[in-house]
Chains A and B, each alone.
Chain A
Amino acid sequence: MLSSLIPLQLPSRMQTHLWYILPNEVNNKSLLKHYTQLLSQHEKDSISGMQSDELNKKNALLARTLVRTTLARYHTNNNDNTVVDPRALKFKKNLYGKPEVDWEVDDTTTNHPKLQFNISHTDSLIACGVTLNAPVGIDVEDKTRKMRHDVLSLAKRFYSSEEVKFLSSVEDTESQRKEFIKLWTLKEAYVKALGKGFSASPFNTFSIIRSDAETYNLCDQAGEWKFRLLELAASSHYAAICIEGEDGQEAMNVIVHKTIPFVEDELISI
């Protein structure tokens, strides 16, 4: 018998809650069947229509499950403080195709804080970032990912000149590859947080610079975009988070959990 979903406390204003699933850990057939039952008809059709192998379909299922169950846990029914039904959540896309929750404003039976979310996944990790009232973008990447092209050639073609300068200064090829991927996740996270599609902010039109070991910033930025770069799952993945802060705000705070919906949460110290 599966446990019911446990309610969650909302993120604070400058906080991102990051939830991730490792697909390799989720293989129980009846659990996966339970997850399928949480999806909308559209989501189910979309997954069964995928021209992909079973692993990709499973990951698509886990991604939708992660989004629905996680967001549901931040919403409780007013009468008994139980978590709302994940099936009840509706989604829509903004003008540029970025997915967001579609709130039914006249529903008074549940509380609905203005949560924002963004997902990203690789073959082996699916992540969902959640914020309160702050546009958020996340991107995850396998740390060992090898590019087919020379890293500097890719950077010269797609990144900004400041970023190329930085990458060129990294002497070791392996470190250069890692820095390229870190920058990739940070740049993706920013564009996804902006939510206007990739054509609105081509990668060579903005620079993300590292100011010290842990801090990344947007050069010449309009607005207060905050970045965090983390390593997840036994350092197998880089995860970049970008949120739009408020003037004068401190750095972003991140709380990370590994989760298997309805089974367990594990708080990850970062």
Chain B
Amino acid sequence: MASLSATSLSFKAPSIQSTRISQVLRKPSSFQSISFGRFQSSKSLRLQISCAAKPETVQKVSDIVKEQLALSADTPLTAESKFSALGADSLDTVEIVMALEEKFNISVEETDAQNITTIQEAADLIEDLVQKKPAA
């Protein structure tokens, strides 16, 4: 286990994204503060499956969605809110994707764009893509 490097990890767990696990195995210096706290390479690996996107990301996504759909500031929006339930049609969704790409400076694949149906899913995908970007 001690010799397992992050780059050689490639298995896909059924209900979580594989990149989540690779995040856990990164060296602490490049590690983003995910909810289960800091990871030290000398300690045994403890995988927590509930690695949701940062609250700030979820908030930024919510703001963009509210703006696109012209929702009032006090509209109750949760991470689980579905775009369609908020009144978004396919053109709204496409505009939301574009706004997210601009805000986070990422590029969303067409197939990924289709799979975003909630705020949480958008936030998770964003963090995935941001984390995958080559270091500047």
Q: Which residues of A approach B to under 8 Å, CB–CB? A: 50-52, 56, 122, 141, 145, 147-149, 153-154, 157-158, 184, 188, 197-199, 202-204
Contacts and interface: CB of A to CB of B under 8 A. Distances in A.
Given A198-B114, A199-B111, A50 B85 contact: yes
A108 B129 CA distance: 56
B98 A154 contact: yes
B114 A148 contact: no
B94 A154 contact: yes
A201 B43 CA distance: 47
In this complex, the interface size class of chain B, counting residues with CB under 8 Å from chain A, is 10 to 19
Interface of B is mostly: helix
B110 interface: yes
Contacts of A51: 81, 85-86
A184 B89 CA distance: 12
Given A51-B86, A149-B99, A158-B98, 8 more contacts: A50-B85, A52-B87, A56-B87, A153-B98, A157-B98, A157-B101, A199-B111, A202-B110
A157 B102 CA distance: 12
10 contacts: A51-B86, A122-B89, A148-B95, A149-B95, A149-B98, A157-B101, A158-B98, A199-B110, A199-B114, A204-B110
A197 B117 CA distance: 14
Interface-centre pick from B86, B87, B101, B110 (highest chain A CB count, 10 A):
B110
A155 B111 CA distance: 18
Interface string B57-99: 0000000000110000000000001000111011100110011
A177 B124 CA distance: 32
Contacts of A52: 85, 87
Nearest to B70: A148
A158 B94 contact: yes
A188 B94 CA distance: 12
Nearest to B67: A148
A149 B99 CA distance: 8
